[in-house]
Amino acid sequence: MSEPIPPPEPKRRDFRNFIQSVRYAVEGFRAAVRHEPSFREDLIFVAILTPVAVILPVKAVSTAVMLASLFVIIIAELLNSAIEWTIDDISLEKRLFAKRAKDMGSAAVFLAYINCVVVWGVIIYSNWHRIQTLEFLRWPPLFLE
């Protein structure tokens, strides 16, 4: 009978650990920007639509939901890229399970885009009477009231 495996040491939970976690997150974000063209395209998409979401004459909650749907795309793309890089790091040969995992990651990004289109469509449709009258050009904006 083999020796029992000792439990792992508990992780350090202090401010230095938090700062290191933030550094890892920034490194991951930079790596995605540097090495993933689809991530850069998604960032451009989000950068264009973020001011539109803020300017549209909708309630603050609707603006927040619209922005959240954009960030879901970024999150899904980051996870998809992580899956693809991990699989490619393990082996570049064609394998059925690797293809399935990559396809599932791509499906998650696709569903995030569908979610965004539906959320934006519903919010714009339900507020169309204010959008078509250019109410969003008045000051102060509706979300500040």
115 Cβ partners below 8 Å, 6+ apart? 69, 72
Q: Which of 77, 84, 135, 145 is catalytic?
A: 77
Q: With CA atoms as reference, report the closest residue to 74 among 27, 36, 104.
A: 36
Annotated active-site residue 77? The verdict is yes
Other Cβ atoms less than 10 A from the Cβ of 143: the count is 18
Residue owning tokens 């689809």: 38
Catalytic residues: 77
